[in-house]
Amino acid sequence: MNRVKTHRQLGIRFLTSAIALSLVFGCATVAVAQQQSVEELLTQADEVLQQMSQITGLAIKGQLNKRVVNRQQVATYIIQHLHEEMTPAEIHTQESLVRAFGLVPRDFNLERFLVKFYTEQAAGFYDPKRKTMFIADWVPPEMQAMTLSHELTHALQDQNWDLDGYMHGARSDDDASAARQAVVEGYATAAMLQQAAGGMELAQLPELGPLLETLTSSQLAESPELASAPQFFRTEVLFPYVHGMGFIQAGLRQGSWKDLNVLIQHPPLSTKQIFDPRVYFNHQSLPTVALPNPPALDGVSGLRFLTGNSMGELGYYALVGQLISEEEAKSVGMAWLADHYLLYERSGGDYYTLVARTRWTSPAQAQAFFRDYHLILANKYSDLTTSKSSGPDQFIGSASNGAVFLLRKDDECVWAEGVPAAKSEMMLEWLRAL
């Protein structure tokens, strides 16, 4: 069973990458693996490539470059790829984002964490930029076949779809990028499972998502790095494999592997479509929300705009799951319809101003999220005070880093944290007018 890969959608955003970095369950616990020769590994890869082409119907359109690598070579490659995908400024922005949402401690170092995690887990990967399958030389034979079946499906995707272009096709939209990642990984996971089932059609099998989630959760807990990682990270690491596979299985129930090519011409636009495949396959429309830059923050000395984007259903599911509970995430997080956030950084310290707008499936669900996020704010800011103007649908308060507002209006929740005191009244009026 394959583990996970380096991608931009990690936590709230982080590292989306077209690199298919396979992480095989069980490899970290194998003390001594039976070694296969380079020739055996290369021959096995050619055989598996043929098998995956037969399952998916994706044609082998050219010679596949293959390279057998050791652990140190993989570690070097991970660092190199990380710096190819993101500049230091982009890494800083993503690190700031998860700090601002209260998902990691203020001393959390994103780059160090990612390098340690992926170096520990790496067990082979396909790189669409280099058009090369990198085969780990330490993986046990019984795990190697599953790794190859997953990763060589990525090679076939690349030859038929332009994998790098597809994965980066919505780079400015984090939620859409995560949905594309789920298509790519879910497709490869589904193909791998079908091969493991002796070619039995996945469409004829019961829904495998819950079983896969249970299996992956228990086995990933054996990873020292992942077991100690924030819960939101674990949620988003599993999402493209577990829910992506469920999405692909739902698609196969409506047609064939060939029919899944529609996902390339018309990619899903949101992780909500992955969580609930009916939204995509029934062509249900999704709303959007606008969030312009607040005039109250224009020209504020020492305040610098970092980023603005959408967390999506996946982001809020992970947020509520870590900061409230898994049960609440399933109840409230899955009622997400649309969102947008803006993040500003204060100079001279790790302090942020966060502004966000969300829409939910009903006023009652918006009220439920209002209560959840009020609790999140109280836990995030130990010195949070409450104004007498606060009520069931309006929280007005302050903390050491500035004013805090949270409003519920019909099926929406809007809020702002870390607002400079001199701009608090202007910000509150602007939030009320959204």
Residue 225 token pair? 């790095």
Instruction: Say how many C-beta atoms besides its own lie within 10 A of residue 241's C-beta.
Output: 28
Strands 122-127 and 65-69: unpaired
pLDDT given at position 117: 74
Question: What are the beta bridge partners of residue 69?
Answer: 136
pLDDT given at position 375: 97
Instruction: Identify which of 184, 164, 282 has the alpha carbon closest to the alpha carbon of residue 240.
Output: 184
- In this structure, are residues 334 and 313 in contact, taking their beta carbons and an 8 Å threshold? yes
Indicate the pTM of the whole model.
Answer: 0.91
pLDDT given at position 394: 97
Residue type, 126: Y
- Please tell me what DSSP assigns to residue 134: E
Q: How many angstroms separate the CA atoms of 150 and 1, rounded?
A: 9
Residue 123 token pair? 């067990």
Instruction: Say how many C-beta atoms besides its own lie within 10 A of residue 272's C-beta.
Output: 22
Please report which helix (H) or strand (E) contains residue 120, including its range. helix 110-121
Residue found by looking up tokens 């034979």 in the block? 141
Residue found by looking up tokens 């803006």 in the block? 342
pLDDT given at position 304: 95
Please report which helix (H) or strand (E) contains residue 359, including its range. strand 352-360
Q: Which residues contact 273 (CB under 8 A, 6 or more apart)?
A: 179, 247, 279, 280, 286
Q: How many angstroms separate the CA atoms of 292 and 313, rounded?
A: 21
Instruction: Say how many C-beta atoms besides its own lie within 10 A of residue 38's C-beta.
Output: 12
Crossing angle of the two packed helices 174-196 and 312-323, in degrees rounded to 10: 80
Domain coordinates in residue numbering, the chain: 20-281, 295-433
pLDDT given at position 218: 65
pLDDT by residue, tens only, the chain of 434 residues: 333 343 334 334 443 333 333 443 433 333 344 567 888 889 999 999 999 999 999 999 999 999 999 888 888 888 888 888 888 888 889 899 999 999 998 888 888 887 777 776 667 789 898 899 998 888 888 788 888 999 999 999 999 999 999 998 898 899 999 999 999 999 999 999 999 888 788 777 767 767 777 666 666 666 676 677 788 888 888 899 999 999 999 999 999 999 999 999 999 999 999 999 999 999 999 999 999 999 999 999 999 999 999 999 999 999 999 999 999 999 999 999 999 999 999 987 778 999 999 999 999 999 999 999 999 999 999 999 999 999 999 999 999 999 999 999 999 999 999 999 999 999 999 999 99
pLDDT given at position 222: 66
Q: How many angstroms separate the CA atoms of 242 and 247, rounded?
A: 9
Residue 386 token pair? 């409450």
Please report which helix (H) or strand (E) contains residue 155, including its range. helix 141-161
